[in-house]
Structure 1
Amino acid sequence: MELCDSLSSFKDQPPWILALSALGLLSLLKPSIAALRWLFVSFIRPGKNLARYGSWAVVTGATDGIGRAIAFQLARRGFGLALVGRSPDKLREVSAAIRDKHSDARVETVLIDFAGDLVQGVAMLKKAIAGMDVGILVNNAGMSYPYAKYLHEADEELIKDLIMVNVEGLTRVTHAVLPGMVERKRGAILNIGSGAAIVIPSDPLYDVYAASKAYVDQFSKCLHVEYKDKGIAVQCQVPLYVATKMASIRRSSFFVPSAETYARAALRWIGYEPRCTPYWPHSLIWALISLLPEAVVDKWRLRFCLQIRKRGIQKELKAKEQ
């Protein structure tokens, strides 16, 4: 009887009170739903069957770091590999290492200097993959600053190379591989972005690098919309720090995974959201940063990057003295 009286009393409330009550309930449900979804996609949701995209994978920047680790993971899953890099010696080394670990691995190599003659390099790539059932493209080749610098301190060669490698190279390789995927009506493109462009509000002293990675994110989102109805999944992954040579981090930790740990997580997310952070501790950092005022994050990031700049200058001066 008391429950019926309570419900009747609730129904008799003015509409604006009912509306506010509903909004209050939704505001409580929204974070709960978001938390449940995060738990599901991070720990429960299975990875897709990548073999359904095709039998070959093209991996750029395959001789070091994340690209190398992803190549090994794809070889373990039985993919043929077309490895793209700028060093013949490193390409031979990684090919031999993959074949040593997976004796039946199919490995081809393509020499492209992304800061050099891209037109000729991409023409070689087209020739190498002609007739291949390329199901996965991993655009991992990228470069950053040697250390944090103000824009006026960066030389023109560095700026040119950053744009060529991170923007033009990725675009041209994608343009070369896409037609085969469209013809076969299947494929997955994985573009490696950066938290410098998405997670933090700004990345001072790394502005050209951060802006080039923002291009990767928007390029990926547009391609996702363009090609999802053609059976092609396009995704930009947004890692934070990973223990690689480019990041100048040698030791891995809980929040800074090894390239191998990141690669395992990366493959599990291919084919899902157009933008994601596959290594779950990185998503915790992203959530924390999103709660802070931009001015606070900007101030912290500038101070952090100025410390990197100071160490970089000291290292450069010491090298000149020797």
Structure 2
Amino acid sequence: MHCLDNYLEKLTTFRAADMSHSQTALVFGLGVIGGAWILTQGLTFLRVLASLFVLPGKSLRSFGPKGSWALITGASDGLGKEFALQIARAGFNVVLVSRTESKLIALSDEIKAKNPTTQIKVLAMDFAENKDSDFKRLEALVQDLDIAILINNVGKSHSIPVPFNETPEDEMADIITINCFGTLRVTKIVTPGMIQRKRGLIMTMGSFGGLVPTPLLATYSGSKAFLQHWSSALGSELEPYGITVQLLQAHLITSSMSKIKRPSLLIPTPKAWVKSALSKIGRRGGSPHYYYTSCPYPSHGMMAWFITCVMGVYSSWILGYNRNMHVSIRKRALRKAEREKTK
């Protein structure tokens, strides 16, 4: 009986020791995993800081020699106009494409006044109409040109935030046609020449609306999410040919589309934003987890890093914040419209 008691006592001791060892191993394993996660997050944050504030991007001139061309869509206003001005200043000839011919001529005169040797071609076309004849005219216009840079800037959003089931059919169609079909068709015209020359730069305007699902801007958000994935796929296809593809993520910018006129720390002017974008070509900025993508403006980049790496783009808090913000914007816009109607 005494031997049995000793045996049971030793067995209990061994089991306790095994459990203790197992618990120690578990705690150690969790500690290693947690430490690795913290180290990874820390390194990601340092890469974001370096990309936004320290490391330079590729030079524009590396994409084409003197005398080569840049094609800019949606060129007459806002970001498109700034891209045209700054790329022309860098020594490229420019093809300006937008809907309103008078604005294109005015921009052409402005570029000529600042850069007398720059060659300029303009084409007025309405991307919402998606006419084959317009794209054939564009193809003929650039057929013999060395298009080294393509800026896919043309785009359309909702006139005001609107629930999807209340979105006007024509607005919904225009957003998809302009943002998606227009961008794809222009890119398909330009890429064969870039592939043949084995160089080129394709920059496409994305949005935080494509990075994060945006209630009350559902159709616009979906169109920009499409461009996000399309650009990543296209970038992988064209990289072996020496072509750089970059989707540019942006938060709010002072423009007619955003209806914001006063700049701030989080809302730059088109001039400041484009300067950042062109100085960070090939850098991911605040988008470390998205290949062939950049969020180049510093404050926007920090926001993108926080959303993607800390909160998560599909977090309920982000979705709720976005929804509440756009509900508020819609209410203010409707009140303003009502006031103007009664005047």
TM-score using structure 2 length: 0.85
Q: State whether residues 130 and 177 of structure 2, in contact with CA within 8 Å, keep that contact through their aligned partners in structure 1.
A: no
- Counterpart-to-counterpart distance in 2, 1:25 and 1:103: 59
Instruction: Give per-residue Cα distances to partners, 1:208-227, cap 9 Å, x unaligned.
Output: 00001111111101101111
Counterpart for residue 321 of structure 1: 342
How many residues are matched? 307
Instruction: Give per-residue Cα distances to partners, 1:61-103, cap 9 Å, x unaligned.
Output: 1111111111111011001100110100000111111111222
**Is the aligned partner of 1:129 residue 2:139?**
no
Matches of residues 42-61 of structure 1 in structure 2 within 5 Å?
A: 42-54=52-64, 55-61=68-74
**Is the aligned partner of 1:236 residue 2:240?**
no
Equivalent of residue 109 in structure 2, options 96, 103, 106: 96
Counterpart for residue 86 of structure 2: 73
CA RMSD in angstroms comes to: 1.8
**Is the aligned partner of 1:260 residue 2:271?**
yes
**Is the aligned partner of 1:295 residue 2:316?**
yes
**Is the aligned partner of 1:282 residue 2:300?**
yes
Matches of residues 190-201 of structure 1 in structure 2 within 5 Å?
A: 190-198=203-211, 200=212
- Counterpart-to-counterpart distance in 2, 1:32 and 1:208: 35
Instruction: Give per-residue Cα distances to partners, 1:18-49, cap 9 Å, x unaligned.
Output: 65554344233212212221222112211212
Range with greater deviation from structure 2 (277-286 or 132-141): 277-286
- Counterpart-to-counterpart distance in 1, 2:293 and 2:235: 10
Equivalent of residue 153 in structure 2, options 140, 157, 170: 140
Q: State whether residues 223 and 234 of structure 1, in contact with CA within 8 Å, keep that contact through their aligned partners in structure 2.
A: yes
Instruction: Give per-residue Cα distances to partners, 1:114-169, cap 9 Å, x unaligned.
Output: 01143122111111111111111000000111101112222111111111111110
Counterpart for residue 188 of structure 1: 201
- Counterpart-to-counterpart distance in 2, 1:123 and 1:207: 32
**Is the aligned partner of 1:166 residue 2:179?**
yes
Q: State whether residues 151 and 204 of structure 2, in contact with CA within 8 Å, keep that contact through their aligned partners in structure 1.
A: yes
Percent identity, please. Answer: 32
- Counterpart-to-counterpart distance in 2, 1:29 and 1:108: 51
Range with greater deviation from structure 2 (29-38 or 176-185): 29-38
Amino acid at match of 1:217: Q
Partner SS state of residue 239, structure 1: coil
Q: State whether residues 188 and 270 of structure 1, in contact with CA within 8 Å, keep that contact through their aligned partners in structure 2.
A: no
Counterpart for residue 333 of structure 2: 312
Q: State whether residues 51 and 283 of structure 2, in contact with CA within 8 Å, keep that contact through their aligned partners in structure 1.
A: no
Counterpart for residue 4 of structure 1: none
Equivalent of residue 217 in structure 1, options 225, 228, 231: 228
Q: State whether residues 71 and 81 of structure 1, in contact with CA within 8 Å, keep that contact through their aligned partners in structure 2.
A: yes
TM superposition shift of 1:176:
0.7
Residues 20, 160 of structure 1: CA spacing in aligned structure 2 closer, same or farther, 3 A cutoff? closer
TM superposition shift of 1:17:
7.0
Counterpart for residue 11 of structure 1: none
Counterpart for residue 28 of structure 1: 38
In structure 2, runs of 5+ residues without a counterpart are 1-23, 285-291
Amino acid at match of 1:105: T
Q: State whether residues 254 and 268 of structure 2, in contact with CA within 8 Å, keep that contact through their aligned partners in structure 1.
A: yes
TM superposition shift of 1:317:
2.8
Partner SS state of residue 94, structure 2: strand
- Counterpart-to-counterpart distance in 1, 2:38 and 2:214: 33
Range with greater deviation from structure 2 (144-153 or 254-263): 144-153
Larger Cα-atom Rg: 2
- Counterpart-to-counterpart distance in 2, 1:320 and 1:196: 30
Counterpart for residue 19 of structure 2: none
Q: State whether residues 190 and 270 of structure 1, in contact with CA within 8 Å, keep that contact through their aligned partners in structure 2.
A: no
TM superposition shift of 1:16:
6.5
Residues 302, 221 of structure 1: CA spacing in aligned structure 2 closer, same or farther, 3 A cutoff? same
Amino acid at match of 1:32: G
Q: State whether residues 53 and 135 of structure 1, in contact with CA within 8 Å, keep that contact through their aligned partners in structure 2.
A: yes
Q: State whether residues 237 and 278 of structure 1, in contact with CA within 8 Å, keep that contact through their aligned partners in structure 2.
A: yes
In structure 1, runs of 5+ residues without a counterpart are 1-13
